[in-house]
Amino acid sequence: MPVLRNLFLSFALGAVALAAQAETVARILPDDIQSALAVGDYATAREALAPLTEDPDATEARYQYAQLLLNGLGGAVERVRALELLDAAAAHRHPGAATLLARVYLTGSASGVSRDPARAAALLRIAADQNVPEAQFYLGMLMKDGVGVPADPAAALDLLERSATGGYVEAQYILAQAYSRGDIVPPDTERALRWLTAAAEGGNTEAQFFLANALRTGEGSQQDTAAAFRWYRRAAEQNLPIAQRILGTAYMTGNAALQKNEQEAYRWLKSAADAGDPGAMFNLAIGLSREFETLTDDAQAASYLKAASDADLARATFMLAQFTESGRGVPEDLRAAALLYRTAFEQGDTRGAVRLGQLTGQGALEDMVPPHFSVPWTVAAAQQGDEGALNWLEAQAENGLRDAQVSYGLFLLDERKDARRAARFLEKAAQAGAPTAQHRLGVLYTTGAGVTLDYVLAHKWLNIAATNGIEHAAETREVIGNLMTPEQLAEAQGAARSFFENATVPDHVAGTTDR
């Protein structure tokens, strides 16, 4: 479960607090003020409350008036006077004033005072001792994290339990997290689910979403797909994009709980996509391009793919590249498609490299991309069985492109198990200065695979590869060295020195990627 979005609510909720405390107000304030507050006539309430606040014992009047001043209800914001009144009411142990003033000290500069968690904790204790669930929650969170007070997990858990039992939804959600994670209390799946359900029923959007997940998978409860999607809908209706995406996708494909409904699918996926959810953008593009029967729109699908691609969703970039290559929903443009395939690969979708390798093997990118750039792509395509890409790679290796020699040699060695042919290309690349080829060639000489077993040549190439930064080459070189005579070692070391003294980089090696 994610961390609670914001523990400290905005002062705009003061208006809600006024209505929630109607019973207390009815016992303490005159009828005309009660009525004005009840109907939201804050200007009248503000005017009537002002003279009452002169009485030091009128703590409820001071509290209600301070809320109006602090939130600018019924008149201008008067923060300084509001804080004075709250402080005076809290000094008389008024629970609402203590809680609200504590929130001021928790939010700090945004409220016109310096942030002071210790002062907030002292105020919250006043209200928590009077069983105010909100105060119990905030104080419990401070004690849980050791902010403003010493960390005390046991006391924090007690306060959160009391707050949750008193109906405070955020406490219920935090307890669900705690029992699920086992951070301040041993894990207890049953209790986690109970508090998660309570928080979901109380309107907490994240709780509704995670309860839906639990019911859908059967995690900690009996699997109930129908109930899961009822909760996804509740969370979606509170504008949670991921819930909207899941709900919309379910309507697009249909499942045991929901019949296919492309209108509903489009509505929910579009809402999530427009809110910036890349997965919803991609799924909506799938619907618009192939799943929907009456809402097909390739141009709109391409637009959502572009947005998802810009958000680094690799599968969307790959699909957009396919659209661009074929001219579906966007102008046909092979060069732009190739760039998108490359971007998709860089974002993590290997299909981008495979498609580039296929296009390279077909000669479609010949005038667009330098050959050494295409080598990794053709390897990816060849590994998927594309013979055109493999033939291109072999031709480039035969023509002396060092990267192609390395990659084709390794492909023959690892994929085709053809050590003899592989050794020929690795030898050429090793002579041209490719460390990877030098290492693998040295290993071949230690075993005699594809070449004649020769410890001198093995040591020579492993020594050269190690000098060029291949760590494993140094390890293997030491093992081989222990099997050689002093004369053989001297010969191998002399051969390595001669290699470096006479090494030149052929013209065709410029721009290669192998070290």
At 84, which CATH number? 1.25.40.10
- Least reliable range by pLDDT among 28-37, 92-101, 162-171: 28-37
Q: What is the pLDDT of residues 195-210, one digit of tens each?
A: 999 999 999 999 999 9
Q: What is the pLDDT of residues 232-252, one digit of tens each?
A: 999 999 999 999 999 999 999
Angstrom distance (rounded) from CA 231 to CA 444: 61
- Does 292 reside within a domain? no
Three-state DSSP state, 394:
helix
Q: How many residues does the chain have?
A: 515
- Does 124 reside within a domain? yes
* C-beta of residue 444 within 8 angstroms of C-beta of residue 418: no
Residue 175's alpha-carbon distances to 207, 248, 317, 335, in angstroms, are: 11, 30, 40, 55
* Residue 503: band (very low, low, confident or very high) from pLDDT cuts 50, 70, 90: confident
Burial class (CB in 10 A: 0-12, 13-18, 19+), 255: middle
- Does 143 reside within a domain? yes
Kindly state the average pLDDT of the residues 289-304.
Answer: 96
- Does 41 reside within a domain? yes
> Which of the pair, 3 or 477, is modelled with greater confidence?
477
Beta strands in 239-364 (DSSP E): none
Domain with 44, as residue range(s), is 1-166
**Does residue 358 have a pLDDT over 80?**
yes
**Does residue 128 have a pLDDT over 50?**
yes
**Does residue 94 have a pLDDT over 90?**
yes
The pLDDT of residue 184 is 85
**Does residue 125 have a pLDDT over 90?**
yes
The pLDDT of residue 3 is 35
Short-list 497, 435, 446, 499, CA closest to 471: 435
DSSP letter, residue 289: I
List alpha helices for 327-418, DSSP H.
Answer: 334-347, 351-361, 371-383, 387-398, 402-414
Angstrom distance (rounded) from CA 133 to CA 138: 9
- Does 251 reside within a domain? no
Residues 6+ apart with CB under 8 A from 21: 96
- Least reliable range by pLDDT among 4-8, 211-215, 283-287: 4-8
* C-beta of residue 372 within 8 angstroms of C-beta of residue 508: no
Q: What is the pLDDT of residues 107-120, one digit of tens each?
A: 986 667 899 999 99
- The angle formed by the CA atoms of residues 39, 45 and 50, to the nearest 5 degrees, is 170
Angstrom distance (rounded) from CA 364 to CA 356: 9
The pLDDT of residue 289 is 97
* Residue 10: band (very low, low, confident or very high) from pLDDT cuts 50, 70, 90: very low
Q: What is the pLDDT of residues 67-76, one digit of tens each?
A: 999 999 999 9
**What is the rounded average pLDDT for all residues in the chain?**
91
- Does 76 reside within a domain? yes
Short-list 305, 302, 300, 264, CA closest to 281: 305
- The angle formed by the CA atoms of residues 188, 189 and 190, to the nearest 5 degrees, is 95
* Residue 504: band (very low, low, confident or very high) from pLDDT cuts 50, 70, 90: low
Kindly state the average pLDDT of the residues 213-220.
Answer: 88
Q: What is the pLDDT of residues 143-200, one digit of tens each?
A: 999 999 999 999 999 999 999 999 999 999 999 999 999 888 899 999 999 999 999 9
- Does 113 reside within a domain? yes
Angstrom distance (rounded) from CA 204 to CA 214: 15
Neighbours of 484 (CB within 10 A): 16
**Does residue 284 have a pLDDT over 70?**
yes
Angstrom distance (rounded) from CA 379 to CA 402: 14
- Does 117 reside within a domain? yes
Residue 21's alpha-carbon distances to 130, 202, 501, in angstroms, are: 15, 18, 90
Give the pair of three-digit tokens for residue 217.
């998978």
Angstrom distance (rounded) from CA 300 to CA 279: 16
State the total domains in the chain.
1
Q: In which residue are the tokens 């809110």 written?
A: 275
Q: What is the pTM of this model?
A: 0.82
The pLDDT of residue 111 is 64
Angstrom distance (rounded) from CA 72 to CA 43: 10
Q: Name the percent of the chain lying above pLDDT 70.
A: 92
Residue 84's alpha-carbon distances to 8, 98, 114, in angstroms, are: 21, 12, 15
**Does residue 22 have a pLDDT over 70?**
no
**Does residue 12 have a pLDDT over 60?**
no
